[in-house]
Amino acid sequence: MDDDWQRCFIALAPDAATRETLSGLPSPPVARRVPVDQLHLTVAFLGTISACKGGLLGYSLSSVAEALPVFRTERIEHWPGPAHPRLTVAVLAKSDALFALAARIRAVLEALELPMDDRAFRPHITLARFPRDASALCELPVPVAGLSIRFDTLALYSSTLARHGARYSELASAALPD
C-alpha cells in the first residue's frame, strides 16, 4: 500500500505482566498464536486513512487517554469465520470504562471527519488465529475467568496484510495515567 495511505486501528496495549499472563494461556495447537508484542484490544477500526489524518489522530490520542481500571477476563471463546473457527479470543467482563473510552474516541474521529466501523464493540483480546484450512473446532483446554488485565498505552496502529496474517506497527501512542 502507498505510504500515504494506511489501514489503521486504535487499540489498548497491555502492560508487561498482562502480556505474560495472556501468552501463558493455552490455545488450540492448530491455531497460530498472536506474537506477545502484538497482543492488543482493538477499540476502533478505521480502515484506510491518509498519513495526514493519521498524524492528526496520533496527536489527539493523549486527549482521550484517561486512567483505566483493572479489567478481568470473563471467558475464552472461538469466534467463527464463514466456514471454520477463525479466532481464539479472551473476552473481557463488561466494563463501562471501556465503552466510555470507545465513545471518547468516536468523538475524536467525528471531529477529524474520520470514518469508524460501526460493528458492535465487543471488547476482546485475540490470542490466536486459525489457519484457513482448520476444520474441527478444538476443545479449549481450560476455562479462564477473572484474570487481571491492565493496559498501559493507547496507540494508533497500522495493519499490513502479509502472507501469514496481518502485521501491526505502532504509529503513535499515549501512555495511560496510573
45 forms part of the interface with ligand 3AM (CB under 6 A): yes
**Least CB distance to ligand 3AM at residue 49 (A):** 13
Could you say which of 152, 166, 170, 173 contacts ligand 3AM (CB under 6 A)? 166
117 forms part of the interface with ligand 3AM (CB under 6 A): yes
Nearer to ligand 3AM, 9 or 130 (CB): 9
Footprint of ligand 3AM on 4-23 (CB under 6 A): 9
**Least CB distance to ligand 3AM at residue 24 (A):** 19
How many angstroms separate the CA atoms of 74 and 145, rounded?
5
Nearer to ligand 3AM, 82 or 177 (CB): 82
Could you say which of 6, 27, 42, 73 contacts ligand 3AM (CB under 6 A)? 42
Could you say which of 58, 159, 172, 176 contacts ligand 3AM (CB under 6 A)? 159
How many angstroms separate the CA atoms of 137 and 96, rounded?
32
Residue 6 near residue 49 (C-beta atoms within 8 A): yes
Give the angle subtended at the CA of 125 by the CAs of 124 and 131, to the nearest 5°. Answer: 110
Interface size with ligand 3AM, residues (CB under 6 A): 8
**Bridge-partner residues for 73, per DSSP?**
92
126 forms part of the interface with ligand 3AM (CB under 6 A): yes
Nearer to ligand 3AM, 148 or 160 (CB): 160
Start-to-end CA span in the chain (Å):
37
> Grid coordinates standing for 63?
486527549
Contacts of 107 by beta carbon, 8 Å cutoff, 6+ apart: none
Residue 91 near residue 45 (C-beta atoms within 8 A): no
Q: Is 103 exposed, middle or buried (0-12, 13-18, 19+ CB in 10 A)?
A: exposed
Chain residues binding ligand 3AM by CB under 6 A are 9, 42, 45, 117, 119, 126, 159, 166
